[in-house]
Every structure is written in C-alpha cells, then in structure tokens.
Amino acid sequence: MTRSLGRDSAVRNEILMLILGFAALVAVGGATVWLVSKSDDFNRQVATTLETKNEIVRTLSLAQDAETGQRGYLLTGEERYLRPYRSSLEKIDDHFRRLGELIGPDGPQRQDFETVRATVRDKFAELAETVGLSTSGRRAEAQAIVLSDRGREAMVQIRQLVSRMTAREDATLAERTEDAARLSNGLLAVVVLGLVIAAALAFVAQLLVRRQTRVLAAAQQELAQANHGLEAAVAERTSELLAANGEIQRFAYIVSHDLRAPLVNVMGFTSELDAARGVLKEQLDELTESVPDKIRPEAREAVEVDLPEAISFIRTSTAKMDRLINAILRLSREGRRVVTPESVSVTDMANAIAATLHQQTAGVGAEIVVDPSMPALVTDRLSIEQIFQNLIENAVKYLDPARPGRIEIRGRRVGPQVEYTIEDNGRGIDAKDHERVFELFRRAGAQDKPGEGLGLAFVRASVRRLGGTISLTSEPGKGSTFHLTFPAVLRPQTETQAAA
C-alpha cells in the first residue's frame, strides 16, 4: 500500500511538472509574439531612417544636377544641357513633400529641413534667373550672376545642412540598429528557452511512460504469483491494467500532440525572424552603396553571419524535435491500434520487402536471401510487416562496404512458437550495446548514417504487442543476427491476459 501511494505521489509530481512546463511554454510563446512585434517596429523604424537619409542626400543631388545643367547651357547655349536642370525642377517639390513627411513636425531636423528647403528654392530661383537671361540673349548678365558668390554660397550652405542632417540620421540609424540587434538576441534566447522546455517536457513524458510501464509489468507479475486459482480476480485485475496502459498511451499521444503547437509557433517565429533579417540586410546593402564608410563591420557580421547561423541552429533543433515528437506519436498510435490476427505468409512478405530494396542492394553489390520454407503465422499483418521491414532495411543500411553484402532470412517452427532470424555480414555491434540499441532515442557505433534511434525501439514494442521476443547476437566486423520468436497463432491481448 505504501509503495502504491509512493508511486501515485511520483506520478502526480511528474504531471505537475508537465503542467508547469506547459505554462512556461505558453509564457515563452507570449514573449516571442511580443518580441516579434517589437522587432517589426524596429525594422520599420530602421527602414524609415534609411529612407529619410536617402531623401536628405537626394536634396543635394537634385541641386547639383540642376546647377550642372544650368552651367552646361550657359557655356554652350545648347538646349540638351538643360535636361538635368528641368528634371530636378520637376522633382524638387515632390521630394520636399516626402522628406517633410519623413522628418516630422518637430525637432532640430525639422528646423534644418525648413532652412535647406528655403536655400534650395533660392538656389533654383538663381538658376532660373540665369537660364532666363541666357535664353533671352542676355548671356553676359547671366554669367555675371554665376560669377557672383550668390550661387556658390547657397550650394555651400546646402552641403552643410545636408551633412548635418545626414549625421543625425546616421546616429539614429546606429541607435535603432543596436536596439534591433539586442531585440533579436532576446528573441533568439526566448526561442532557445522554448526548445529547452519542450525537450524537457518530452523527456519527462518519456520517463513517465517508462515508469508506468514498469509499474504495469510489476503489477502483472504480482498477479501471476498471487493465486492461480482465482481466475475471476486475475481477469478483473488484468482489465484494470489494460485500461491503465490505454491511459498511458493516450497520455503520451496528448503530450506529444500538445508539444507540436509551441514547436509550430517557434518555426513560424523563426521564419518571421529570418524575413526581418532579410529586410535589414537589404537596407544595409542600400546604405553600403550610398555611404559605405558609415557601416560598422560588427553590424554587417551580425546581419550576414550571426543571425543566419542562429536561425539555422534553431531550425535544425526544431526539425529534430519534430522528428522526436513524431516518434512518440507513432509509438502511441501503434499501441492504441487494434491487433487483428490473420494468416500471413512470412516468405512472401520477406520476398516483397527484398524486391522493394532491390535497387539499394544492387547499387552496393549486396543480396537478400529468403528461406522459401519459412512457416507462416497467424498474427497482425501490418505489425509483422513493419517489424521485418525495419530489420531488413537496417541490415542494408549498415552493410560493410569492405565486402559484398549478404542478408539471410530464415525461420522454423518450435512447438507453439515460430522462430525467425535476420542475419547480415555488416558492421556488427559491440556486446555492450546489444541492449542499448533497443532503447528509445539511443544509437550505437559510428553515427555516420541518418536516424534518431527510433527504429529498433519501435520494433521491440511491436514484437511485444504480438506476444513475441527479440534479441541480438553480434560482433563488430563480422555482422549481426536478430532473433525473433512469436506465437504461431496470436490471440488478442485481452484474451491472452484473461487466461493467464
């Protein structure tokens, strides 16, 4: 009784940890949404600052283009030299309207804006006067105005004002870029925290499932030792255990399913962060073309190196987490699926699997040999096919390239049981890892092949559901043999347990 209370308390504590973890994920999701919103605001501010600076610099460009056209016309008298002057004259009003909207109604920038606008208008008035005099044939008077200091002083003042306004925008840009970088780092930290919490929840869920499975196994053993004569009591207790196992499977499914929601959010926010980085890089590139000496190397490295690297790390981690969640869901679904016994020709099934792998085996000079006299089974077709498919694919995957590959599949009837072996001459597995390879998310040997350590864990779970056992004999450099034992005729679990 005391042991049962202790187990219940441990389960409650773990469930409480899961609830707290989910609450933390919700908080992380809220913080991420807020940070992404703030990041968008900063990006818009940076874009506005860059546009403002470009328009300020364009003020000087328009004035210079107009002056260049005026001087060319005065020197040559040819109309074609007036094109830059007339183009600038057409654009200047729209330019000042847009620049005024960007700068806003207050502050030192507004004061300088009003001054530079008045100065540019004076300059354009001087240009218009000289062009008009020259057009009417009074070129000497026009040249006299040019030789005076009126136009030169106006251009000097325009350059000074443009330089001062540009310096203010550069300072604003540096400040906003730094704020955006800090916010991006904060967003990255929150996303990583969310991944850590999600991983911790998955780990706790796995521990809970394992512990409950051990509890169920221990309870079944106690029932078997209690009193074989009390069949009704045994049947009742078995029913309770099966219901509890179903609850565990459903719990694992719910936990894994709910873990995907914050993971999807993290993926979405990562895409938003990447898109924001792209906008920032475009603006940085435009700024580099106009004023390259204003770009700090640290800023470019942050945008072009640090942020892409961090985003790539987040995406790799979320992809791995997604695969792990899918594995838990797959195990949960398989555990809840109704087993339906039917007659299965294992020989035909193995030959069909070998045919699907023919291209892979032919490509590496390997062969799959199937014993034609293997006994059939009355079992669940889907489960037995998945078991053999996983084991044969693993054998092909880990063949030794130093010698021609050979995979042999054999079987024999032993009383009420049927034994099968899948033997290969591949890399082999060290003795200390023979049990480890069947554990969830655990792998052995060189990690040079893709995988998450899920296949053999799934195989063992499926073998046990079919009332069978699986074991491994292997030696590095010589190959591996998987030994499978199944009842020749499978009875559904409820029937089997009730008769125990």
Q: Average pLDDT, stretch 425-441? A: 77
Identify whether the C-beta of residue 320 lies closer than 8 Å to the C-beta of residue 267.
no
Best CA proximity match to 53, nearest among 147, 167, 205: 167
> Count of alpha carbons within 13 Å of 49, Cβ hemisphere only?
22
Q: Which strands form 479-487's sheet, in the order they lie side by side? A: 367-370, 406-414, 417-424, 479-487, 469-475
Q: How high is the pLDDT of residue 244? A: 43
d(CA 349, CA 314): 41
Q: What is the pLDDT of residues 188-233, one digit of tens each?
A: 887 788 788 777 777 766 776 677 777 777 777 776 776 565 555 4
Best CA proximity match to 210, nearest among 242, 248, 238, 247: 248
Residues 6+ apart with CB under 8 A from 430: 444, 445, 474, 476
Percent of the chain with pLDDT over 90: 15
**Is pLDDT above 50 for 234?**
no
Q: How confident is the model at residue 265 (pLDDT cuts 50, 70, 90)?
A: low
**Is pLDDT above 50 for 495?**
no
Tokens of 411: 């079987």
Q: How confident is the model at residue 152 (pLDDT cuts 50, 70, 90)?
A: confident
Which has more pLDDT, 440 or 202?
Answer: 202
Helix (H, G, I), strand (E, B) or coil at 421: strand
Q: What residues form DSSP beta bridges with 198?
A: none
Q: Average pLDDT, stretch 158-163? A: 88
Best-predicted range by mean pLDDT among 100-114, 147-161, 366-380, 479-493? 366-380
Q: What is the pLDDT of the chain when averaged over all its residues?
A: 78
Q: What is the pLDDT of residues 90-142, one digit of tens each?
A: 888 898 899 888 888 888 888 888 898 888 888 888 888 888 888 888 888 87
Q: Average pLDDT, stretch 265-279? A: 72
Q: Average pLDDT, stretch 312-319? A: 70
Which has more pLDDT, 447 or 285?
Answer: 285
Q: How high is the pLDDT of residue 86? A: 85
Q: How high is the pLDDT of residue 371? A: 94
**Is pLDDT above 70 for 257?**
no
Sorted by where each starts, the structural domains of the chain and their CATH numbers stand as 341-498 (3.30.565.10)
Helix (H, G, I), strand (E, B) or coil at 217: helix
d(CA 28, CA 200): 14
Phi, psi at 119, each rounded to 5°: -65, -45
Best-predicted range by mean pLDDT among 39-53, 225-239, 373-387? 373-387
Residues 6+ apart with CB under 8 A from 318: 195, 263, 266, 267, 270
Q: Of 92-106, 335-349, 426-440, where does mean pLDDT reach its minimum?
A: 426-440
Residues 6+ apart with CB under 8 A from 68: 84, 85
The total of other beta-carbon atoms located within 10 Å of residue 391's CB is: 23
Q: How high is the pLDDT of residue 488? A: 93
Residues 6+ apart with CB under 8 A from 102: 48, 51, 52, 55
**Is pLDDT above 60 for 500?**
no
Best CA proximity match to 411, nearest among 475, 486, 491: 486
Q: How high is the pLDDT of residue 296? A: 75
**Is pLDDT above 50 for 499?**
no
For residue 305, the 8-state DSSP code is: I
Q: Of 177-181, 249-253, 483-487, where does mean pLDDT reach its minimum?
A: 249-253
Q: Average pLDDT, stretch 303-317? A: 73
